[in-house]
Amino acid sequence: MNAIAESIIGAHGGLAQWRNFRTVSARLVQGGALWGLKGQAGVLENTTVTVATDRQWASHAPFGSLAARSDFTRERIALLDRAGRVIEERVQPRESFSGHTLETPWDPLQLAFFAGCAMWTYLNAPFVLAWEGVHCEDDGLWQEQGEVWRKIRVRYPENLEVFSKAQTIYVGPDNLIRRLDYDVEIAGNTPGAHYVSDYTTVSGVRFPTKRRIYPRTPEGQAMPEPLVVSIDLHEITLS
C-alpha cells in the first residue's frame, strides 16, 4: 500500500480498524433511470445488502419477489430461496454481458451480478486500495463544489471483478472520497460520475450514506441529468 492509499484509507477509519470486521450490511433505498432502462424497475428498490470485506462476495435480501436472496462471487451468480436452495444460477456471469450497450435489457441474474459487484466495490471503498495488485497514483487537482479535490488514478488487477479496471477517485481536503469515475464495461463502457456524500461513522469507519450517479462527458464533467442511479444507505452495521 503506497502513501496515497494510506492517506485515503486513514481518513476513512484506517486499515487496522477495518480489518476487525468481516462483513458490512446496509439497508438500501434505490432509484434512478437505470433500473427501468434495464427492465428491472423496482426489484431492488428497497432491500438489504451484505458484503464481505476479506473476499469478493455480496448478497441482496430480499431479491424483490424473485428470490429470498442473491449470492454474488466473481465466478458465479445465483438466486436462492429461503432454505438456501438454488433457484437459478450462472457461472462466469460476466461473459453474459458480451455485446451489451447501456440500453440492453438484463435478466434477473444479470441484475444480481451488477448489483452485487457494485455494492461490494462501493462498501469496500477505499479499503480495497490495500488489496494486492491494486495500484493508485496522483493525477493532479480538480475543482468542484467550491473545493479543490485530488484526482487519484486507480488500476485494479484481473482477479478482482469491478466495472472498470481503470478508475478515478476524487478526494477532498479531508481525504474523504467525493466522487468516483468509471466506464461501465458491461454496459458498453458507459461513462459515469458517481458522487458520494452525507458521511456517517459506524464502528470507527466512515461511510457515505448518499450516492448519486450521472452520465459523464468526455471532458470529465458530470451531466445534470438523467440521474442514472440513486442509492441511500441506512442502518449500516459491521460484524
Residue boundaries of the structural domains of the chain:
3-230
Q: What are the φ/ψ torsions at residue 96 (nearest 5 degrees)?
A: -70, -10
Q: Three cell numbers at 64? A: 424483490
CATH number of 3-230: 2.50.20.10
Name the percent of the chain lying above pLDDT 70: 100
pLDDT of residue 1: 73
Q: How far is CA 213 from CA 19, 196, 227, in A?
A: 28, 9, 6
pLDDT in tens, 35-78: 999 999 999 999 999 999 999 999 999 999 999 999 999 999 99
pTM of the model: 0.96
CB-based contact 168:137 (threshold 8 Å): no
In the predicted model, is pLDDT for residue 16 greater than 80? yes
SS3 string of the chain?
CCHHHHHHHHHCCCHHHHCCCCEEEEEEEEECCHHHHCCCCCCCCEEEEEEECCCCCEEEECECCCECEEEECCCEEEEECCCCCEEEEEECHHHHHCCCCCCCCCCHHHHHHHHHHHHHHHHHCCHHHHCCCCEEEEEEEEEECCEEEEEEEEECCCCCCCCCCEEEEEECCCCCEEEEEEEEHHHCCEEEEEEEEEEEEECCEEEEEEEEEEEECCCCCECCCCCCEEEEEEEEEEC
pLDDT of residue 163: 86
pLDDT of residue 43: 97
Name the percent of the chain lying above pLDDT 90: 98
- The alpha carbon of residue 101 and the mean position of all alpha carbons in its chain are separated, in whole angstroms, by 19
Q: What are the φ/ψ torsions at residue 20 (nearest 5 degrees)?
A: -75, -10
Tell me the mean pLDDT in the region 218-230: 96
pLDDT in tens, 123-136: 999 999 999 999 99
pLDDT of residue 82: 97
> What average pLDDT does the chain have?
97
pLDDT in tens, 190-217: 999 999 999 999 999 999 999 999 999 9
pLDDT of residue 138: 96
pLDDT in tens, 80-109: 999 999 999 999 999 999 999 999 999 999
